[in-house]
Amino acid sequence: MNKYWEQDIKFLPGVGPKRAELFNKELNIRTNEDLLQYFPYKYIDRTKFYSIREIDPSAAFIQLRGKITRFLKEGQKPKERLIGKFSDTTGTIDLVFFQGFKYVLANYDLDKEYIIFGKPNLYNGSINIIHPEIETVEKQEQQINSSLQAFYNTTEKLKSNYITSKSIQKFQNNLWRDLKQPISETLPAYILAQHRLIGLHEALFNIHFPQSIDALKKAQLRLKFEELFTIQLDLLKQKYNRYHKSNGLLFSKVGDNLNTFYSKYIPFELTNAQKRVIKEIRKDLGSGKQMNRLLQGDVGSGKTLVALMTILIALDNGYQTCMMAPTEILANQHFHSIKKMLGDMDISVQLLTGSTPKKQRTIISKGLMDGSLHILIGTHAVIEDTVQFKNLGFVIIDEQHRFGVAQRAKLWEKNEQTPHVLVMTATPIPRTLAMTLYGDLDISSIDELPPGRKPIKTIHYFDTKRLVMFGFIRQQIELGRQVYFVYPLIKESEKFDYKDLEDGYEAISRAFPPPRYSVSVVHGRMKADEKAASMKYFKEGKTNIMVATTVIEVGVDVPNASVMVIESTERFGLSQLHQLRGRVGRGAEQSYCILMSSYKLSEDARKRIDAMVNSNDGFEIAELDLKLRGPGDLEGTQQSGLAFDLKIANLARDGQILQLARDTALSVLESDPYLTKPENQILVNTIAKSKNKEVDWSQIS
């Protein structure tokens, strides 16, 4: 790209300083190149002109050619409207404006020929168009010809300053009209030829001004492929460099700790999936290369047991281990689970959270420094500068998407040589998302549940069936079971018509009065010791109902809890619903998940509920969730550490292109691992340009 593309957008005709500032704040568009890379979200055929007589009111959009014959105002403020009578040789329709009267009257002349574009509406038997696009015939003839009109996402603030999709299209038009030379290519000729991809200049022109549907498809394929290929090439190059340049700690033996645990303390027979994953991790630890592995498995699949057995390998080789979890509840859960599984083995395990007293912190610090403390489990507290290890060799991060990259990096710095890393998640990750977010990690999956676990039965009730639901809850409590009620809100909200915990607690307390029933409450605004006490009562069976928010989404393990009631189910995402459901079904008894909702359900909400009722497979649910929600926020250190903002590719729809891009990246690196060949220098420049991060996190997953 030349200096033209680096030029501030304020110099582009029609923009100016004020609009440039808005573009910067609202869309992060600062330069001509940023505008060029701001792609349309849909296209509409603008080749057809209708006559007024042949308008179909059910059509999505129509285009007319004619004259405005007069303006008149109707109604009283605040419902006043401006009507423009628009005619061609076959009839007349109304153009309706609810705002911007001064602008319309000042800018559109009577009896001048205009091209009108908009959505037809049927009102009182007559067809009208509300707030149409209006362009003079002369101006449209000056625009770059295109068979499809591109539509661009805007914001309310941009619209209120008269920057619409049409405005953005005009700026794109000005940008291309001022272009003096072709856009430089960013992919090698051999890759373009291999996949029959069009050049970058042609692709970018046709993404904004498609000359045909076929040209648009070719442009989309080229740009999606390049975006995904660049990400995959960078991730796989990092992985290759780390593997070949970074020597890892060598865990060469399996010793007394693992053998003793396996023969005397293991709580249940390992599943085939657990055995396979442990073998994969053991191979990494014994390779002499630094391990970076993602362990994913559904709720209750036995990830903690796998983690403990790999921890014991680290201990057998003389290294300490640290496990970091995002919440105190989850850290406590891991601590108590691991302590219980280890029994009376001579292994020191400590818990460090924000609630740990100063006296206990001193004991922990001493144990870490002299090596007598083998396993440290905790929250963000473990990354504090005062926490120093004698010989940290193995790091486990649970639910790592809840940590920022910089937070995770602090653990790496606690040993001169980078420790082995195991990242765990109970949220099954769709294949396309895993290839993008975790493309530089090796991935292990535990895809079967321990024997004896019964599938959870999921039922959907509308709010009118509340008494039926309460009756079922009473039956379960009579059988000695415990129950969760989860709410999306703590307090009643004016913005959202959803159930809230405070009202729910009162209703449940009335329906389940003491002394026969007792209720615990847990939510995010409670103090840590209050939450811990409430959870303790529930775990010990002193309360049989837990009323909570999603704070119990992860880390709460009460095998006797067999019913999960989720209020205002329509408020929750699919993966979150599946996570909440996973809080039950942890014992031998049949468990149930009851989804309560109002009758007002969107199409997506119905699909989410149907998926929950029909499937217990976390991987299947994750794929559907990606399709329904889209990939979400993939950029920035807080969410994922991914250094790329997807501008055109969609991970929910472009799985085949992603696979093609990854296979191509692998092929390139197999023949040229460090991209030193002359024909690949263009790729080095493309990767460098595409990165928008300041720190190289490539060593830390």
- With helix as H, strand as E and coil as C, how does 122-142 read? EECCEEEEECCEEEEHHHHHH
Contact yes or no for 500/492 (Cβ under 8 A): yes
Q: Verify that 610 and 543 share a domain, yes or no.
A: yes
> Is it the case that residue 643 has pLDDT exceeding 70?
no
Q: Which of the given ranges, 70-84, 339-353, 577-591, has the highest pLDDT on average?
A: 339-353
| SS3 (DSSP) at 77 | coil
Q: Verify that 660 and 602 share a domain, yes or no.
A: no
Number of domains observed in the structure of the chain: 4
Q: Verify that 472 and 560 share a domain, yes or no.
A: yes
Mean pLDDT of 552-566: 79
Cα-Cα-Cα-Cα dihedral sign, residues 597, 544, 513, 527: negative
Give the domain range for residue 358: 256-446
Residue 219 forms part of a structural domain? no
Lowest mean pLDDT among 132-136, 184-188, 372-376, 408-412: 408-412
Contact yes or no for 87/69 (Cβ under 8 A): yes
Residue 75 forms part of a structural domain? yes
What pLDDT shows up at residue 554?
Answer: 55
Q: Verify that 437 and 477 share a domain, yes or no.
A: no
Long-range contacts formed by 462-466: CB under 8 A, 24+ apart: 462/596, 462/597, 462/598, 462/599, 463/596, 463/597, 463/598, 463/599, 466/596
> Is it the case that residue 220 has pLDDT exceeding 70?
yes
Strand partners, 563: 483, 592
Higher per-residue pLDDT: 489 or 259: 259
Q: Verify that 685 and 606 share a domain, yes or no.
A: no
Contact yes or no for 290/247 (Cβ under 8 A): yes
Residue 28 forms part of a structural domain? no
> Is it the case that residue 431 has pLDDT exceeding 80?
no
What pLDDT shows up at residue 361?
Answer: 92
491: domain CATH number? 3.40.50.300
Mean pLDDT of 558-579: 88
Strand partners, 88: 91
Q: Verify that 439 and 292 share a domain, yes or no.
A: yes
Contact yes or no for 643/695 (Cβ under 8 A): no
Q: Verify that 413 and 275 share a domain, yes or no.
A: yes
Share of the chain above pLDDT 70, in %: 90
What pLDDT shows up at residue 362?
Answer: 93
User: What's the mean per-residue pLDDT of the chain?
Assistant: 85
> Is it the case that residue 700 has pLDDT exceeding 60?
no
**pLDDT level of residue 642 (50, 70, 90 thresholds):** very low
Residue 176 forms part of a structural domain? no
In degrees rounded to 5, what are phi and psi of residue 328? Answer: -65, -35
105: domain CATH number? 2.40.50.140
| SS3 (DSSP) at 615 | coil
Long-range contacts formed by 200-203: CB under 8 A, 24+ apart: 200/226
Lowest mean pLDDT among 1-15, 227-241, 344-358, 395-409: 395-409
Q: Verify that 229 and 332 share a domain, yes or no.
A: no
Query: Tokens representing 122?
Result: 């049927």
Residue 201 forms part of a structural domain? no
Contact yes or no for 538/475 (Cβ under 8 A): no
Query: Tokens representing 177?
Result: 């009209």
Q: Verify that 410 and 531 share a domain, yes or no.
A: no
* pTM for the model: 0.67
Which of 416, 446, 476 lies at the terminal end of a domain, its last residue?
A: 446
The tens digit of pLDDT for each residue in 644-679 reads: 467 898 877 788 898 899 999 999 999 999 899 999
Contact yes or no for 403/397 (Cβ under 8 A): yes
The residue among 592, 606, 635, 311 whose CA lies nearest residue 473 is 592
Which of 94, 121, 145 lies at the terminal end of a domain, its last residue?
A: 145
Which of 83, 118, 145 lies at the terminal end of a domain, its last residue?
A: 145
Looking at residue 529, its amino acid is D
What pLDDT shows up at residue 638?
Answer: 29
Q: Tell how far CA 522 is from the center of its chain.
A: 26
CA-to-CA dists, residue 196 to 177, 256, 313, 663, angstroms: 28, 58, 50, 16
Q: Verify that 295 and 439 share a domain, yes or no.
A: yes
How far apart CA 380 and CA 482 sit, in angstroms, is 31
The residue among 441, 421, 444, 446 whose CA lies nearest residue 642 is 441
In degrees rounded to 5, what are phi and psi of residue 319? Answer: -115, 150
What pLDDT shows up at residue 69?
Answer: 92
Q: Verify that 120 and 231 share a domain, yes or no.
A: no
Residue 682 forms part of a structural domain? yes
The tens digit of pLDDT for each residue in 183-200 reads: 999 999 999 999 999 999
What pLDDT shows up at residue 696?
Answer: 41
The residue among 677, 496, 492, 470 whose CA lies nearest residue 600 is 496
Residue 51 forms part of a structural domain? no
**pLDDT level of residue 625 (50, 70, 90 thresholds):** confident
Mean pLDDT of 679-685: 92
CA-to-CA dists, residue 640 to 296, 331, 653, angstroms: 16, 21, 20
Looking at residue 318, its amino acid is G
Residue 452 forms part of a structural domain? no
Looking at residue 241, its amino acid is N
600, exposed or middle or buried, with CB in 10 Å at 0-12, 13-18, 19+?
A: exposed
Q: Verify that 462 and 439 share a domain, yes or no.
A: no
> Is it the case that residue 269 has pLDDT exceeding 60?
yes
Higher per-residue pLDDT: 327 or 467: 467
Residue 362: partners with Cβ closer than 8 Å, 6 or more residues away: none
The 3-state secondary structure of 518-574 reads: CEEEECCCCCHHHHHHHHHHHHCCCCCEEEECHHHCCCCCCCCEEEEEECCHHHCCH
